[in-house]
Amino acid sequence: MTARRIARELAVIVLPQLPRDKAKLEKVELGSLVAKAVQMLVDYARQSLADAEALLTRSEQQVLNIELEHPANQDNVETLAPVPLTSDEVRIQLGLVERALHLVNEALDIPDIALQSGYSHTKVVCTKCSYENAHPSERVDSTEVREFLYRLVDTYVQNRVQIDDFIRHAKAKWKIERMVSIDRDILRLACAEAYFLKDIPIRVCINEAVELSHTFADERAAKFINGILGDLACEAEHFRRTGEVPSRAPDTDTTEIPVGTSTEQ
């Protein structure tokens, strides 16, 4: 995971914690919010690892039960004989292992794990022979993560009224007040990048927003966000060049959110 992607994930968590009142916003200590966001992700990682361990334990117990109930082991007391498994039984166990691996993968992507700079060694111990194998891996520079995070959030804070106006005037004219909060925050951060951070290609801004929606929302949200940002791409390019918004059609504000799209209750 790159430093900027880590920063974007942290920004999505930080954004809802920012006060709406301008006076209170100016007094916010961003560092403490970031620390809180990281802690939330660490707790999530711990829970993911605990859930993965539970799934593997469940799989092991199910295989043991199959062995115990098999006729070949009816008279065995101390040592169970290996027994054949049906394809369905194997498929069930592989499904549990796959879910466990997915949870472990999520946990390893948690930003706090990657925030320390330098190299780390992941140790893998063989359960049968106890041989320990260490794999070196380069970690992301925490300074780069922090700098981009502050830059991204500060860009949004300084331009939040204008950013919301950009989103309201997308071709589809979605009502920002009715959007799911996580979708709205991802869009706001993406617009902060697309309109104001000229060193980041607009296409990258859009792609990263879609990746965030996959992480924090779902496939439907990803399509929704991709569509809105696609509507705004040309306008963002024009704004970068001129500092001005191109002329728009009269604001009718009549478009409703289609059936099946989540809205904030």
In a domain, 20, yes or no: yes
> Could you tell me which residue, 23 or 185, shows the higher pLDDT?
185
Q: What is the mean pLDDT of residues 131-154?
A: 70
Which residue is it, tokens 């990803």? 222
Nearest partner of 56 among 4, 127, 132, judged by Cα = 127
Judge if 29 and 47 occupy the same domain.
yes
> Could you tell me which residue, 251 or 212, shows the higher pLDDT?
212
CATH number (domain holding residue 212):
1.10.940.10
In a domain, 55, yes or no: yes
Judge if 45 and 160 occupy the same domain.
no
pLDDT over 80 at 119, yes or no: no
Q: Which residues pair with 135 in a beta bridge?
A: 122
| Least confident range of 162-171, 175-184, 222-231 | 175-184
Judge if 198 and 221 occupy the same domain.
yes
In a domain, 259, yes or no: no
Q: What is the mean pLDDT of residues 227-251?
A: 85
pLDDT over 70 at 22, yes or no: no
Contact 248, 207 (CB under 8 A): no
pLDDT over 50 at 263, yes or no: no
Judge if 20 and 125 occupy the same domain.
yes
Judge if 234 and 131 occupy the same domain.
no
In a domain, 125, yes or no: yes
In a domain, 28, yes or no: yes
* 156 vs 212: CA distance, rounded Å: 17
Judge if 175 and 113 occupy the same domain.
no
Query: CA distances (Å), 16 to each of 11, 63, 134, 170, 200, in order?
Result: 9, 45, 40, 22, 24
Judge if 120 and 172 occupy the same domain.
no
Judge if 174 and 221 occupy the same domain.
yes
Nearest partner of 44 among 10, 76, 77, 73, judged by Cα = 10
Domain's final residue, options 86, 115, 139: 139
| Least confident range of 29-38, 47-56, 69-78, 255-264 | 255-264
pLDDT at 207: 95
Judge if 79 and 129 occupy the same domain.
yes
In a domain, 185, yes or no: yes
Judge if 129 and 148 occupy the same domain.
no
Name all contacts of 50-56 with Cβ < 8 Å and 24+ positions apart. 51/100, 51/103, 52/99, 52/100, 52/101, 52/103, 52/104, 52/107, 53/100, 55/96, 55/97, 55/99, 55/100, 55/103, 56/96, 56/97, 56/100
In a domain, 265, yes or no: no
242 is written with which tokens?
A: 């001129």
pLDDT at 27: 65
Percent of the chain with pLDDT over 70: 72
In a domain, 178, yes or no: yes
| Least confident range of 72-81, 134-143, 150-159, 190-199 | 134-143
Domain's final residue, options 139, 157, 174: 139
pLDDT at 126: 55
Query: CA distances (Å), 13 to each of 127, 214, 251, in order?
Result: 38, 15, 32
pLDDT over 80 at 234, yes or no: yes
Judge if 13 and 88 occupy the same domain.
yes
pLDDT over 80 at 91, yes or no: yes
Domain's final residue, options 82, 109, 139: 139
Judge if 212 and 90 occupy the same domain.
no
* 17 vs 260: CA distance, rounded Å: 28
Contact 172, 214 (CB under 8 A): no
Total domain count, the chain: 2
Q: What is the mean pLDDT of residues 137-150?
A: 71
Q: What is the mean pLDDT of residues 238-248?
A: 86
pLDDT at 129: 56
> Could you tell me which residue, 130 or 102, shows the higher pLDDT?
102
- For residue 148, what are the domain limits? 143-242
Highest mean pLDDT among 46-50, 133-137, 169-173: 46-50
- Report pLDDT digits (tens) over 204-217: 999 999 999 988 88
Mean pLDDT across the chain: 78
Nearest partner of 192 among 212, 169, 166, 218, judged by Cα = 166
160 is written with which tokens?
A: 């939040």
Contact 246, 167 (CB under 8 A): no
Nearest partner of 38 among 18, 10, 19, 63, judged by Cα = 10
